[in-house]
Structure formats: C-alpha cells, structure tokens
Chains A and B, each alone.
Chain A
Amino acid sequence: MTGGTVWPGMLLGLGILLLTMQPASGQIEHVELDETFPASAIDWELAAGADAVLRKELEEYEVRSPRRADLRVRRVVTVLNPEGRRHGEFYIFHDGLRQVRSVEGLVRDAQGEVVRRMSSSELEDRSLISHFSLYDESRVKIARLHHDTYPYTVEIAYEVRFNNILVGWPRWYLRRNIPIEYARLEVESPPDLPVRYQVRGMDLQPIVSRSDRAHRFRWQALDQPALDPEPMGPHWTEQAVAVETAPAAFSIEGTTGDLSTWEGFGRWYYSLGEGRRQLPERAREDVQRLVEGIDDARERARLVYEYVQERTRYVSIQLGLGGWQPFDAIYVHERGYGDCKALSNYLQALLEEVGVASYPVIIRRGMNEPELQVDFPSNPFNHVLLKLPMEDGDPVWLEATSQTLPFGHIGADNEDRYALLADYENSRIVRTPTTTADQNRLERHATIHLTDTGHADVSLDLRFAGNLQHRIRRTLYGGTGRDRDEWSRSYLGFSGLRNLEVAFDHLSDRGETLRLPMSFTIDRRATATGTRLFLQPMLMANNVRIPPPAEDRRHPVRLDYARTYVDSLRYVLPEGYAVEAMPDPVLLDKPFGTYRAELVVEEDGELLYLRELTIPEATIPAEDFHDYRAFLNTIAALERDQVVLVRE
C-alpha cells in the first residue's frame, strides 16, 4: 500500500523534529509582511542558531469535487549560511494520483532584489521507485535555488492537482527544523463535501467562512521556533503542533468511500478485496490435501501460512488504486509473487478454503512510527496483516510478506500499535500484540579452552528468539554461502578469528528459536604479558545502544522492543594458571533494566561467567533518562574489567 501522503515536512527535507514549545499565539487576524523579504526584517531572536528561516508559507487545498482537488503552495525561505543551502532545494512529489501543474521559483538577495527567476527547464523530474518496489508511479520534481552571497532568499510556488480526494489532504506542522516566521493553511471545500480536521499540541482554532459555494478554514501562525531533535525519542509528528485534515466522503478511481468513521473506511477497504479471492483449482487441491485429517484451526492455519511462505515472494507493484486494491488470488498463485495486499488477500483466500476465517488489518508498519490517532479517522496506513479469530479467544496474527517469520509472529515493525480491522459490517480499531522481554531473547552458551599464549578454542551455541531472530533469519535464509560467512564473521567480530564452522541447518525450520551452533578459534583471545594473562570474560558485547547525553530529556527513549540477553561462558584455563584478580559479582536492579554478572571459579579450576541483561519495557520514561544512561554506561565499564590469570 502506498497510501501516499506528502507531508509538508518532507517537502522541506526535514528530518526528525520534536516539540518543547509553549502553545503558539491564538488566532492571528491580520498579517502584513514585506513581500520582498529583506534579510534585515528577520527576527534574529527567532533565527538564533538557525541555518535558514521559513519567512512565509501559504498552503491552500481546495476541493472541487469528489474527484478533484487542487493544492497551491508558496514558500519563502531565507538561507543564512552554507549549512542552510539544502533549504533552498524543493522536492515536489507526484504520481498517478496527483499531477504537478506549475512550478515557479525565484532568488532574492539580502536586500530583497530579485536576482533571477527559475526557468522551467531547470526543474528536474526523477523517478522515485522505492528500493523494495518493482514498479510504482512515484516521481519527484526538484527545484534547486541557490545564490553565492549570504543571506539570500528563495521563493517557490507550485500547484498540484489531484484526481481524487483521498490523498493530498494537508498535514500541517508548526515545528520544523527551521524557524517559521509566518505560515498559513487554508482548506476549502463545497458544503456537501465536509472538511474534517484535528488540531494537536495547541489550541489553534480556524477562522471559518461559509458560503453556499464553499466552506473555508484558515489557520495561521507567527514566529514558531525550530527545535532540536531528541535522539531515540518518539516520532517527530507525535511531538509537533499539527493540524491534520481529512475528507468525509471521497472518490478514487471509480470507487467511493467514507473516511468520517473507521467503520466506513474499513468497509471501503474491505470492498476492494471482494471478488478477488477466487482460487484456481490447483491451489484449492493443494491446501485441501495439506490439511487433510487435521481439524485444529490453528494447525490448519499454520500449514496454509507455511504453504504461502514457501511458494511466494514479495514483489511490490503500485499503480493508482493499486496502492490499496490487491491483485487477485489467481494472479498471486500463478506468478508466485505479490505485494502485502496481494499476498495477504491470497492467504486469506486459502484460509477461507480450509474453513478458517480471517480479516485484513491495515496498519502503519515501521519502527517507531507515530501512534494512530484513534479519535480522528484518517489514512496513514502503509501495510496490511491478517487477524484470525480463534475459538479459544487467542487470535492468530499473520504477516504474509515474510518467507521466514515463524507462524504467528508479526515482527517488531508491526507490533504494539493500533490498526484498523477491515470487515464489511464490523470494521474496527484493534491493537496488535506486544512481545515481552522473555520472548525476545538471546542466549549464548560457550565453552572456551584457553592456552598460555591466550589462544582460545571456542564452541558456541547461539539461540535467538522472538524479534531478535527475525532479521538474522531473514538475512541468513535468503543469503548465499558467502553472505552467511560474512554475517558470522562480522557478528563475532574477533580479530584473529580462524577455523570458523557454523551449522546453518536450523535456518529453514521457522521455529520459535533460531539456533546457530558454531566453533572457531581466536588467536590471542587473552593478552599475555610476562607471567600474566588478561582475559575479558564477556566474549562479545551485545549491549543496548546508549542514547547521547542531554541535560534535560523531554521525551521517553524508545527502543524497538523489550529484550533479554543471557550469556553463560565456561573458560577452561591453561595448565598452571590461577586467578589473581577478577571482577566482583554485580547486580543492578532498576525499573528499566536488570543486570547481573558473576564469575565463579569451579572446583575443577574452570571459570564460569554468567551474565544476564533484561530490558523489560521498550519505553524508558524521560525522568529515568539519566539513570538509564548511567546504567548502560556502568555495564559498559564493568565489562571492560578483566580477569587476571597468573602463572603459579
């Protein structure tokens, strides 16, 4: 699903933005600007530290009919220094659902004199097919407006025409990576095509004017400062002051729907798949034979799911309404490929065939995506899953695009979020399941024979479970022998690694745990100095990324998921060596994490290192930020500590 929406942020090439600011001023009635935008008129308090300033932005979205809308944008940016040059480059996206009607640009010098006007031949037009797509219609027009003397001001004005009113509704953000002097959003629509909107992050009421012909909504804002992003924080759109607009009734490529309720939108989506689930005779025979003699619905679903995993691959082709409407089941069966909609529709058809009901769930897939605004039906979706109600009340969730996920796993980029279950009569918001620290688990069990030169002979058993296995299994399963070898070497990361042998025979079992038993040697795993051997007992680090320091943290730290790491390492020491010094046992117990590490000298002289790190929740509250960093830093420091062995 493309569900493409151009966010104003994207147009400016914004990165991640976050919010701390006070509510903006109330409604502005009247604004007068010097339309030549001399640099001298910049409010330097607002622009302090900025590389560029958005002097003025007008965005007008005008609905003409259920099948037509126009977007007009005018944007004036002053570039203050070389770092700000990218803010003078504008990206205007278009595809089969929207057409760029005109683009004009000009450059002014610091005094506001027009230096030059852009000619239409300067505009680049490039294909923007995403790396995972075989084909789609996404393209971008690029206007690069530069000057050689700072500061200078660039202006862009463009118009985009939509052949539908599902995509294109403005999402307007007042927190961006450059400060805003003045911005205005206008949405206009005929009375029979109502405008819906939601304002988040401040109290900003529109000025509304109504006539028989059109209703017009206008929002304005002055002097909005730019904000620094907080690394590893929530998605910027969750922080920004935003005005989101959306249609009620809409029409797209010969279909009509209603986005004013989730139920209405779910029904429209559901209807697009109707009549597309007939199966060829051969597919029906295949799955019937597969489930013969098996009554349990869950087991039937598993067999069908694995059948689809075996005989399909993910190929994305998005054309017009094809951004939402699946290719039919026959297409997928015959070609052995499809995108998320097509594959899940095919899976749904096969499940139906064996008597297992399932429903498409449309979702915004990705790590750290903004939470769905449940109280404001809109269309931020980009993916689809299937939900299978089960008699025991514990539904099964399936991700049809993966060849390697174990049955019932949906992956960290789908879990723990609101999504829309599409049904004819009963579409509704549902929440996808969450995995726990106990499920997302990495265990490493090793026996390491050390010699007096520090050479190590290692046998290691890696066990990845839950979300921790997904990417690795996908990489290795689809990888060549060489890819697998390279992955292993870079995962281990030892200098002096030799004689590596890895058993990859568990890759295709799609089990809950991915086991990778391996053996190898390391020249100089321990460092010999005179009569001593220095040994870092932690074989390899697997610590959680430490967020960069910040004096005041405003937002929680977001990890992809909760997790547990367990290491159990047995060292067989060289003849004649004994422990001179070793780190003391440690237990750190915090609400956001537990760490324990212990070294034990066994009776037979072997040294046992046991270590466990658990991060029980994927979200660390902002108030725990400093403690959390200290916790991770302490672990990193502790694990630099060594065991000192001395020859007796």
Chain B
Amino acid sequence: MTEYEPDPDAEAIVLADYGNVSFRSNGRLVLERHTRVKLLSRSGFEHATVDVPYVSEDRLQRVQRVRGRTYVLAENGEVEEIDMEQDAVFDEDVDGRRSRVRFTLPALQEGAVIEYRYRIESRNFTFLPDWRFQRSIPTLHSEYRALIPAALHYTKWSTGMQEFDVQESNQRHTALGSAMNHRWVMKDIPALREEPYMTTPRNYQASIRFQLRGFEDARGAYTSIRSSWDELASELMRHRNFGRYLSPSRAVRRHVDELLEGVEAPGERLEVLYDYASAGLEWDGQRSMFADERPRDVLERRTGNSADITLTFVAMLQAAGFVAHPVLISTRSHGATLPMYPMVTQFNDVLVAVELNEGWMLLSPVSDLLPMGLLPPAALNQQGWLVRENEPEWIPIEPPGQSRVVSVSMLSIDENGRLSGRVDQHDYEYAALTLRVARRSMDDDENFVREAVLSSLDGVTLADWEIEENDEDMGAIAATATIEWDHYAQTAGDFIYLNPHVLGRFESNPFTREERTFPVDYTFPRSNSHTIQIQIPEGYEFYEVPDNTRIVGADDSMLYQRLLDTRGNILQMRLQFVRNETRFDALAYDAIRQFYDEVVAAGAEQIVLRRIEEPRADDDEDENSEGGR
C-alpha cells in the first residue's frame, strides 16, 4: 500500500501510537511511548526523523531506552527488519535548560513501516505528559493510558472535535497502593493540516493535558493546589520567578524616581515609563511568562526575555503609584485559552494591565516599534488572565487598532501614457507597525518609500519624497511622494487605456485553495481608503468609464466600494476596502474567496479615453510644466 484511500494526499500514516504513563516507587513519573508509522511516499520520510524535546534543567527529565526499527518488504517477498543503531540517536542540549533527543530510522523506502520506542522519566509530577492524538498525517489508532495513584488528583483538559472511541477508568491495586487506571483511545483520526489565515492548528488538535489539582496525604486529608483560578493566582503570586518580582525593590524605586523626576501628570508618567521599558530594555527574543532575572538585574543589564521586561515594568508602574498587574496570555501560535481550566500551561507570555480612569489599559513593553497602546499581533488572541492575589480575572483582548491606510493622490496622465503627480499616504496602527518593522530592516528610506509604503506602484520613479513617523493615533507613518511613471497607460491611435486603480488595487486573491476545513482568522480588522484624482490630457474625452461598484462579502463584514465621477477633464475616484470582523466560519470560505475574486477583477477595469481634437503645437511644453507640479 502506498496510498491511504480516505486521504490520498497523505504522505504517511500513523498505524499506532501508544503512550503509557505510570508512577514509580522512586517517585518518578514515566511515559513509555511506542509508535508505528507507515511511509507512503518519499515526502513521508521526514516522519522518520523524530525529535523528543525534554527539560534538562536541574535534570528534571531524562529520555531513555530509545529503540527503532524499519520493516521493509524484500525482493523475495519477505519482511526484512533493520534495527536503528544507537549511534543514530543524538542528545542535543538546546540552551542549557531544554534538550532534545533526535534520531532517524535506517533503510527507508516507500511503503516501509517504521517503529520506535522511548521513555521519558520526570522528577516532577505536577503535569502528566501531554498527549496529541492528532498529527499532520492521518492516525489509525492512538491510545493513552495512565495509572495514577488514587491520592493524586488531576485536572484533565481535552481539545479537538473528535470523540474518544474508548474512555474508561477502573481502580487497581499497585505496589504503591490504590490507583486509577485510565485509558483513552481514538481511531481513524484525520490529518490536521495548516491553512493560511489560521491562528494555529493547535486550536483544533485532538489532545489531552493534565495538571495536578490536589493530593491526599497519608491520613487521607486533601490539599487542593490548583483546582481554581484563585488558587493558581496565589501560587503564582508566591512564585520566585513571577509574583516575587512584582513589588518594587528599593533599586527599582530609585530608578523610577530618577526617570520621573519633575514629571507630574499621570499620563506623562506612564508614557515616560513605557518609553523607558520599550526602548531602553532590549528584548532577547525569548517569550516567557516567567522571569529569569530580578527586576533590579533587568534594569542593570537592560535586556531580558519578555517576562523579565514586562514584570519589571509592572514593578516600575507600582513604584510610580499606578495600579498595575500582569496579564497572562497565550500567543496566537501557542493556541486558544479556555477559562474553564485553571491550567498554567495554557499561557506562554505576559502583558501588563494598568488601571486608568477609563478602565484597564493593556500594554506590552517589549518592543520599541510598538507605540503605547498597540499590542503585538501575536498577543491578539481573544483574552488574557489578569493575575493578582485577590480576584484574578479574565479580561477580553480586543485588537486595539486596525490596519488602516488613507491616501489622497492628485495625478495627471499625458497623451503618451505617462502618469505623474503627488501621492499622500497615511498608514496607521497595524499598517504603520508593519511599515516600521520593514523600515528597520531597510537601509535606504527612498527604497523604503518605494518598496514598502507605495508597494503597489512597481514601475514608479520618485521625484521627491518625505517620510514622517509619529506616535499619535497609536503610530502613524505619513509618506508624501511626487511620482513619475512612464507608460503607465497604454496608448493606441486615438485611444488611451488607463487603469485608474493606481493605489488600493488587489492584484491577487489571498485564498488560492478551493476547499477550507477551518475558520478564517485574521489578526486585526482592516480599512483602506484611497482617493485618486486624475487629470486627463487636453483634447481627450472619457469614452468609456467603469461603473460604480459595491462588493459585499460574508454577511456585510467585508466591503469593497468604488465611486467614480468625471467632471470636465478630471476623474475622481474613491476606493474603500473595509473588513470589520476578524473571524469567519469555514462555511463562509467560498463567499470570501468569491469576494476577493470580484475585488481583483474590479481593480483590472479600465477607463478608455478618446482624442476629440488635434493636439496643439505647444503640447510638449505643457507636459513639462505639468511634470514638475
């Protein structure tokens, strides 16, 4: 078999995946894994190289007894077994905390079956190993068993759409006393494949996770530890890499006093501190909800991971008299959060909530490219959990801005098809953020204006240009350019064929596939507005002009509108694109795709100009004087 009929695209299938968790008398938690995968085509060979990540810090986990074997059909029709040698198993120390064991199986061919086993031993049993029933390839059988001492109580969180085929538990007596024996089985699980504009496949993946909720001691007295958000909050507030850093130390207070010397107004004080943390403290690129360093060390070294900087910022705000708390979040690629489960592994990053008159304001102080109030796109993931000793709470995270572009162009076209004039474009909020990031990576501002700001004008020459960045309106970039574009319009005989969509044109549909499984998820809303005025050459008339257009998609949440008007020798066009919603059901996919098809088609529509009289003799001079305007 080199094709799996229910899913002919599959390059490999998991035949069976078994995980077995048990507690050992030495207090260790052991996961034994045993997996069999059939490789259907060459592209499936990547599934024969396996990474087993583990936590090596403080020798918390170990990976042991890695074995592998490949089964191939020999020419004589017999199954041949090739064992993986131990020298094909590597242990990589990733960064002194995390490690991974990597191995690759031998003698692969299309149709081969690979099998591997390993065990992970942990010294910490706060979490049982996660189990993912679903992968990027189909799985025929996935089974997770756990033998858990009756004295340990876990919260279980399952995700995904698929029901368990078997879910059973029974009591057992073991050498360690009474225990619950659990078994979860899923069969015929389809492949989970990533699609464009999807937050993360993890949101849909069939999986289970566990976190210790409480335990009974030898006399049967129960201690609850993380059975509620309140309990989790008090634990975090006592945590040496979290809550302990929130109250400002003397060093932090001194630093804040220096920064705020002479600054009185609360709004200004907040801004000074925000600017300091976002520009003065360098993010090392690592995301974490736990700090590595004390705020005083962060302030001294001026660098740290996202929690180092954010928790330091909380301490600074508190020192300055603000009410501020950390807000734990899961970034978009880390997956959705569920308030039903008080599980700390839901989160991977942290923001700040500061109390202002109008309520909580969320801030992320890790990047100097983010103006105050704008949150990083990765943080726009529905909600966050505000942590404090009393009354921790979930708060919604709405996109604080949209991708907004407004432009006004005053252009003219000459009878040779040359377009020239002035373009004024303002990018705001997330549109501006995208440009700020681009600007930092480009050495040359002229290239930046041409290639990033006016990216749709691919044949254009800039006669002059200006660029200005400011922090108003959560970041704005204003670009003004005098453009010249030879042969923009096509000329033939008495006709000029002119596409008026100089800006704001969609060249292609972002959705190429014909089917969609999962919702379409944008990060933030979008709104573009372009006003374009084009003066046509003297002696020409508007011969054919496209109609006004209004295209509406997905229940009015997407709108494209074009209004065209001609007066004398002036064409006035207003283009508007608005997408208010960020999330669309997969059922709306066809409509969204159709919407973009129509928008692309509308942008290709042309104006036909026709000559109505002979050109005057001094036309060349006219052209020159217009070009300089």
Residues of A within 8 A of B (CB): 82-83, 85, 116, 122, 124-127, 129, 134-135, 144, 146-148, 228-229, 311, 313, 315, 317, 334-337, 403, 477-483, 485-486, 489-490, 493-498, 523-524, 527, 529-532, 534, 548, 580-583, 633, 636-638, 640-642, 644
- On chain B, the number of residues with a Cβ less than 8 Å from chain A's Cβ atoms is 68
Which residue of the partner chain, among B301, B459, B597, contacts A637 with CB atoms under 8 Å? Answer: B459
Chain B residues near A124 (CB-CB < 8 A)? 95-96, 284
Looking at B96, B497, B596, the one whose CB has the most chain A CB atoms below 10 A away is B497
Contact B601 A85 (CB under 8 A): no
| Minimum CB–CB distance for A508 against chain B, Å | 9
Which residue of the partner chain, among A134, A147, A481, A527, contacts B605 with CB atoms under 8 Å? Answer: A527
Bound together, the chains give a CA A10 to CA B536 distance in angstroms of 55
Bound together, the chains give a CA A486 to CA B493 distance in angstroms of 42
Contact B108 A636 (CB under 8 A): no
Bound together, the chains give a CA A135 to CA B92 distance in angstroms of 8
Given A122-B301, A126-B95, A529-B606: A482 and B106 interface contact (C-beta under 8 Å): no
Chain B residues near A482 (CB-CB < 8 A)? 9, 193
Contact A524 B604 (CB under 8 A): yes
Chain B: CB-nearest residue to A498: B514
Contact B43 A126 (CB under 8 A): no
Binary per-residue interface labels of chain B (508-521) against chain A in the complex, 1 for a CB within 8 Å, 0 otherwise: 11001110000000
Within 8 A of A (CB), among B440-484: 440, 443-444, 447, 451, 458-459
Chain A residues near B95 (CB-CB < 8 A)? 124-127
Contact B106 A496 (CB under 8 A): no
Chain B residues near A493 (CB-CB < 8 A)? 508
Which residue of the partner chain, among B45, B495, B506, B546, contacts A644 with CB atoms under 8 Å? Answer: B495
Contact B514 A478 (CB under 8 A): no
Bound together, the chains give a CA A9 to CA B42 distance in angstroms of 39
Contact B49 A134 (CB under 8 A): yes
Contact A529 B459 (CB under 8 A): no
- Which of the candidate stretches B181-189, B209-217, B273-281, B346-354 sits at the interface with the other chain? B273-281
Q: B302: CB under 8 A from chain A?
A: yes
Contact A581 B493 (CB under 8 A): yes
| Minimum CB–CB distance for A104 against chain B, Å | 15
Given A129-B92, A144-B284, A532-B608: A134 and B104 interface contact (C-beta under 8 Å): yes
Q: A532-B606, A636-B458, A640-B487 given. 5 additional CB < 8 A pairs?
A: A147-B302, A477-B42, A496-B600, A534-B604, A548-B444
Q: B617: CB under 8 A from chain A?
A: no
Chain A residues near B546 (CB-CB < 8 A)? 529
Bound together, the chains give a CA A523 to CA B93 distance in angstroms of 53
Chain B: CB-nearest residue to A642: B490
Chain A residues near B451 (CB-CB < 8 A)? 548
Contact A495 B600 (CB under 8 A): yes
Bound together, the chains give a CA A623 to CA B301 distance in angstroms of 50
Q: B563: CB under 8 A from chain A?
A: no
Chain B residues near A496 (CB-CB < 8 A)? 509, 597, 600-601
Q: B394: CB under 8 A from chain A?
A: no
Residues of B within 8 A of A (CB): 8-11, 41-45, 49, 82, 85, 88, 90, 92-96, 102, 104, 106-109, 193, 276, 279-282, 284, 300-303, 368, 440, 443-444, 447, 451, 458-459, 486-487, 490, 492-493, 495, 497, 506-509, 512-514, 544, 546, 596-597, 600-601, 604-606, 608
Chain B residues near A147 (CB-CB < 8 A)? 302
Bound together, the chains give a CA A122 to CA B282 distance in angstroms of 14
Contact A489 B604 (CB under 8 A): no
11 contacts between A and B (CB under 8 A): A148-B276, A148-B302, A482-B9, A496-B509, A496-B597, A498-B514, A523-B601, A548-B451, A581-B495, A581-B497, A582-B492
**CB-based closest 3 A-B pairs:** A581-B492, A148-B280, A481-B9
Contact A116 B303 (CB under 8 A): no
Contact A524 B597 (CB under 8 A): yes
Contact A548 B447 (CB under 8 A): yes
Given A127-B92, A146-B302: A644 and B497 interface contact (C-beta under 8 Å): yes
Chain B: CB-nearest residue to A139: B93
Chain A residues near B44 (CB-CB < 8 A)? 480
Bound together, the chains give a CA A327 to CA B172 distance in angstroms of 51
Contact B90 A637 (CB under 8 A): no
Chain A: CB-nearest residue to B276: A148
Bound together, the chains give a CA A640 to CA B82 distance in angstroms of 59
Chain A residues near B447 (CB-CB < 8 A)? 548
| Minimum CB–CB distance for B626 against chain A, Å | 20
Contact B102 A135 (CB under 8 A): yes
Bound together, the chains give a CA A608 to CA B42 distance in angstroms of 41
Chain B: CB-nearest residue to A641: B490
| Minimum CB–CB distance for A287 against chain B, Å | 15
Chain A residues near B8 (CB-CB < 8 A)? 481
Given A335-B106, A495-B508, A527-B606: A83 and B440 interface contact (C-beta under 8 Å): yes
Contact B513 A485 (CB under 8 A): yes
Contact A637 B514 (CB under 8 A): no
| Minimum CB–CB distance for B496 against chain A, Å | 10
Given A523-B597, A633-B459: A478 and B42 interface contact (C-beta under 8 Å): yes
Contact A495 B509 (CB under 8 A): yes
Contact A313 B604 (CB under 8 A): no
| Minimum CB–CB distance for B91 against chain A, Å | 9
Chain A residues near B42 (CB-CB < 8 A)? 403, 477-478
Chain A residues near B440 (CB-CB < 8 A)? 83
Chain B residues near A494 (CB-CB < 8 A)? 508
Contact A495 B514 (CB under 8 A): no
Chain A: CB-nearest residue to B90: A135
Contact B43 A636 (CB under 8 A): no
Looking at B493, B506, B596, B597, the one whose CB has the most chain A CB atoms below 10 A away is B597
Contact B443 A228 (CB under 8 A): yes
Which residue of the partner chain, among B11, B301, B508, contacts A480 with CB atoms under 8 Å? Answer: B11
Contact A313 B302 (CB under 8 A): no
Which residue of the partner chain, among A489, A581, A633, contacts B512 with CB atoms under 8 Å? Answer: A489
Chain A: CB-nearest residue to B300: A116
Chain B residues near A116 (CB-CB < 8 A)? 300-301
Chain B residues near A85 (CB-CB < 8 A)? 282
Bound together, the chains give a CA A36 to CA B458 distance in angstroms of 50
Chain A residues near B107 (CB-CB < 8 A)? 334-336
Chain B: CB-nearest residue to A548: B447
Bound together, the chains give a CA A527 to CA B107 distance in angstroms of 55
Bound together, the chains give a CA A415 to CA B626 distance in angstroms of 52
Which residue of the partner chain, among B96, B279, B282, contacts A144 with CB atoms under 8 Å? Answer: B282
Chain A: CB-nearest residue to B543: A530
Contact B596 A489 (CB under 8 A): no
| Minimum CB–CB distance for A545 against chain B, Å | 12
Looking at A144, A495, A582, A641, the one whose CB has the most chain B CB atoms below 10 A away is A495
